[in-house]
Amino acid sequence: MSFSSLGLSEAITSVVTELGYSAPTPIQKQAIPVVLSGKNLIAAAQTGTGKTASFVLPLLEQLEQLKDSHNNKHKLRGKRIRALILTPTRELAVQVEASIAKYSKNLKLTSMAMYGGVDSAPQKQALIWGVDVLVATPGRLLDLAHQRALHFDELTTLVLDEADRMLDMGFIDDINKIIERLPKQRQNLLFSATISPDVRALAKRTIDNAVEISIAHNHASKPKIEQWLVTVDKSNKSALLSHLITEQQWQQALIFIETKHGAAKLVSQLDKRGINAESLHGGRTQAVREQILADFKAGKITMLVATGIAARGLDIDDLARVVNYDLPAQADEYIHRIGRTGRAGASGEAISLVSKDNFRELCAIESRLGHIISRKEFDAFPVKKTVPVSILNYLPKNKSAPKK
């Protein structure tokens, strides 16, 4: 079966051929005709099955046809969007938008990724002329909708991508509020690795008469990130980290720390215990940072201690583990950090060292994940100041960074 037999036109099929896709994957075979027919869709499919292209390709086809049918006169008005793709994380938003840009290179369609944790001014600016396909995380989207930076009256399609993860991460209220603002007449597509009871309830409330398809799990390509934490007294943190590196024979780790000063101190503490590490922080010049990153990617540096900001843009496909030497102040940042491992189908681990004064951050992170992170204990490091078990429905009262 070919992509053109599914109803996609040359402008799109030529791109997938160039990309080396010889045939549609099972989810693409089933989903593309349904999406093109304008029906609602609920699909159980995981990352790695080709699910992104299964909704992006027909969506682009529809938008292109819409343009043609109006002889290109149907111009998008300012601050308007035609399709909205909601994703749980900034990483996924960026990734989906990159796919859209790739698949639409022969089309005159615009797309954009929008997410929180960064200045919103450039995003507002980019919305001024309207965007055909907007990929967004729920919080930032709602924020900008409240500020009237965008309007939904020309929207024709809503895609909920990785719906189960969005619900796990506590986005249900935001999603409901967004849906309330959308035109009633629209096409709805929901993709989820699993159709849990919560996903089913969301689908029932928001999606009528959907075609349902389910694709067998593809374990080989599913990113697998094992998360665990060790509680530790603050004064023992560097000794515990050295112990883990040595005992568990870590070949590589990206170690996140809060401050530049802390990074330098940890590198020297590791050095005293015979472990070679390098630090990456905002105090180093751009050239030095780039060299360190290149050396880390090439495996010349094995232990890299980095502040969150300095590690932005660090993209390594087969990073085995990330370590939160300090927990980030924001739960989103935790999710972003752990997403740097377990890429491209490889397995990865995310380890956090948690002392009692991190309890507040831990509660926020575990509430965001919707589950408790499993704890490991090491006999050589008994804990004097116990870290209590989190309260999972914890909501931070004060959103500014907690005191250290």
Distance CA 17, CA 168 (A): 36
Give least dist CB 50 to ligand AMP, A: 3
CB 136 within 8 A of CB 86: yes
Q: Which is nearer to ligand AMP, 27 or 303 (CB)?
A: 27
**Contact between 47 and ligand AMP per CB under 6 A:** yes
Give least dist CB 92 to ligand AMP, A: 9
Distance CA 249, CA 388 (A): 29
Three-state DSSP at 151 gives strand
Q: Which is nearer to ligand AMP, 221 or 302 (CB)?
A: 221
Dihedral sign for Cα atoms in the order 347, 349, 350, 356 = positive
**Contact between 206 and ligand AMP per CB under 6 A:** no
By CB under 6 A, what part of segment 16-45 binds ligand AMP?
21, 24-25, 28
Count CB neighbours of 374 within 10 A.
Answer: 9
Q: Which is nearer to ligand AMP, 52 or 341 (CB)?
A: 52
Q: Which is nearer to ligand AMP, 97 or 333 (CB)?
A: 97
CA distances from residue 197 to 168, 204, 223, 307 in whole angstroms, order as listed: 12, 10, 23, 39
Token pair of 98, please?
A: 């990159």
By CB under 6 A, what part of segment 166-195 binds ligand AMP?
none
Q: Which is nearer to ligand AMP, 10 or 377 (CB)?
A: 10
**Identity (one letter) of the amino acid at 129?**
W
The set of residues, in sequence order, having a beta carbon less than 8 Å from that of 198 and lying 6+ positions away, is 164, 167, 172
Q: Which residue from 29, 50, 113, 326 is in contact with ligand AMP, where contact means CB under 6 A?
A: 50
Distance CA 2, CA 193 (A): 25
- Run of H or E residues at 41: strand 41-44
Give least dist CB 19 to ligand AMP, A: 7
Q: Which is nearer to ligand AMP, 103 or 171 (CB)?
A: 103
Q: Which residue from 53, 60, 109, 293 is in contact with ligand AMP, where contact means CB under 6 A?
A: 53
**Contact between 289 and ligand AMP per CB under 6 A:** no
**Contact between 49 and ligand AMP per CB under 6 A:** yes
CB 281 within 8 A of CB 306: yes
Give least dist CB 277 to ligand AMP, A: 33
- Run of H or E residues at 68: helix 51-69
**Contact between 321 and ligand AMP per CB under 6 A:** no
Residues that bind ligand AMP (CB under 6 A): 21, 24-25, 28, 47-53
